[in-house]
C-alpha cells in the first residue's frame, strides 16, 4: 500500500509528465429520475447528491487532463446494464453513490415539520470492486490509490462495510461487492464510490458543502489520474506514504 501512495505522490510531483493520449474516464451518476435511491436524513434523494458530486468530479478530471464520458447525468438511464454499455470504449469506470443504512439502525427525528429518520452509527466513504471484473488488478490498484489519497486528505473510510463485505483493502476503505452489475458487466476496470452516509445528520451536511465536495472531488480525480497515468513505478521510487 505504501507503494500505491508513493505512486500518487510521485504523480503529484510531476505536473509536466509527458503523456500519450489522455485516458478516458466514464463517470456514472447512480440512480436516476425514476429511482431516486436512498433518502437522506433531511428527506433529499440520493440521486441529487450523486449528480452534484459527479458533476464536480467530471470537471476536476478534465482539469487533470483526463477525458470524461458522462453517464446518466440526466438521470434517464433506468437499466443497470445500460450504464457500463454507455461507458464502453473508456479506460476506467466510476459509479458515484451516497450511502444509507438498514432500517434496524435508523432513529426517528423531525426536519422542517416532517418525520424523517437518521443514523448515528455509520459514516464515511466506501469504495467497492467486483472480483468478477475483467480487469480486477487495475480496479484494485485504482481503488486503493483513491482510498489512500482520501485518507491522506483527511477523509475517513467507513468500517461498517465489514459487516457484509470481504475486505480488499480495509485500511483504505476498499471492499469486494461481487454482484454489482455496473462493476462486473463491463469490459473496463471499475469501482463504485460511496462518498458518504446521507442518513447521518452531520455527514449529510458535510456532503452538501461545496468546498468539501471540491476537495473530495480533487482527491478522487488525483487518485484516478495517478493510477491511470503512472502504471509502473519501481518500489524504491518516490516518497514513502504513512499510515
Q: Which position has the grid cell 505536473?
A: 15
**pLDDT tens digits along 28-72:** 999 999 999 999 999 999 999 999 999 999 999 999 999 999 999
Q: What is the H or E stretch that residue 74 is in? A: none
CA distances from 224 to 4, 7, 148, 163, 200 (A): 12, 11, 11, 27, 27
Kindly indicate the confidence band of residue 6, based on its pLDDT and cuts at 50, 70 and 90.
Answer: low
Q: Which residue has the higher pLDDT, 2 or 223?
A: 223
- pLDDT class of 18 with cuts at 50, 70, 90: very low
Residues in the chain: 243
Distance CA 4, CA 9 (A): 9
Residue 203's Cβ-side half-sphere holds a number of Cα atoms within 13 Å equal to: 23
Closest CA to 219 of 173, 162, 163: 173
- What is the bridge-based pairing of β-strands 24-29 and 167-169? unpaired
pLDDT of residue 78: 86
Q: What is the pLDDT of residues 120-138, one digit of tens each?
A: 999 999 999 999 999 999 9
Band (174; pLDDT cuts 50, 70, 90): very high
Amino acid at each position: 500500500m505504501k507503494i500505491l501512495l508513493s505512486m500518487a505522490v510521485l504523480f503529484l510531483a510531476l505536473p509536466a509528465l509527458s503523456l500519450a493520449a489522455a485516458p478516458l474516464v466514464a463517470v456514472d451518476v447512480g440512480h436516476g429520475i425514476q429511482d431516486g435511491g436512498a433518502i437522506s436524513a433531511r428527506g433529499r434523494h440520493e440521486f441529487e447528491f450523486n449528480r452534484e458530486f459527479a458533476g464536480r468530479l467530471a470537471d476536476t478530471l478534465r482539469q487533470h487532463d483526463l477525458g470524461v464520458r458522462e453517464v446518466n447525468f440526466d438521470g434517464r438511464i433506468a437499466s443497470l446494464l445500460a450504464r457500463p454499455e454507455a461507458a464502453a470504449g473508456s479506460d476506467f469506470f466510476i459509479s458515484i453513490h451516497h450511502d444509507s443504512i438498514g432500517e434496524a439502525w435508523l432513529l426517528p427525528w423531525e426536519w422542517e415539520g416532517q418525520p424523517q429518520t437518521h443514523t448515528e452509527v455509520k459514516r464515511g466513504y466506501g469504495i467497492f470492486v467486483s472480483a468478477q471484473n475483467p480487469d480486477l488488478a487495475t480496479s484494485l490498484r485504482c481503488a486503493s490509490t483513491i482510498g489512500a489519497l482520501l485518507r491522506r486528505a483527511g477523509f475517513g473510510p467507513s468500517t461498517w462495510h465489514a459487516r457484509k463485505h470481504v475486505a480488499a483493502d480495509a485500511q483504505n476503505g476498499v471492499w469486494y461487492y461481487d454482484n454489482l452489475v455496473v462493476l462486473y458487466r463491463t469490459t473496463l476496470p471499475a469501482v463504485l464510490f460511496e462518498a458518504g452516509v446521507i442518513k447521518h445528520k452531520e455527514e449529510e451536511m458535510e456532503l452538501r458543502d461545496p468546498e468539501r465536495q471540491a476537495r473530495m472531488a480533487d482527491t478522487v480525480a488525483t487518485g484516478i489520474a495517478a493510477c491511470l497515468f503512472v502504471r509502473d513505478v519501481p518500489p524504491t521510487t518516490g516518497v514513502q506514504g504513512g499510515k
